[in-house]
Amino acid sequence: MSKLYLKLVTNQGEAFSGEAEKVTAKGGLGEFTILPSHADFMSTIVPGKLLITTGGKSKEFNLTGGFIEVSDNNVTILADSVE
């Protein structure tokens, strides 16, 4: 099964970088989940939780907002800040 490659970046630097099975975030139109082979996608991210599942375990980050881009199993999140 293919995996996602995720980069979570803030103006302070990289907060997370690595493989993930799924990524769940809260966008301007509601919560969404990105899985491997997801269609190309761009969205704003509103303040809330970002859940990353990697190695069968979930990691949680609180974001204050930002943007997400998905392309060819690469997920890039430019976050205002991570709490």
Supply the CATH number for residue 74's domain: 2.60.15.10
Give me the number of domains the chain comprises: 1
Q: Report the 10 Å Cβ neighbour count for 10.
A: 16
Range of the domain at 66: 4-79
pLDDT tens by residue, the chain, 83 residues: 689 999 999 999 999 999 999 999 999 889 999 999 999 999 999 999 999 999 999 999 999 999 999 999 999 999 999 98
The whole-angstrom separation of Cα 73 and Cα 61 is: 20
From the list 51, 83, 78, 77, the residue with the least C-alpha distance to 64 is 83
Q: Report the 10 Å Cβ neighbour count for 4.
A: 22
Q: What is the pTM of this model?
A: 0.93
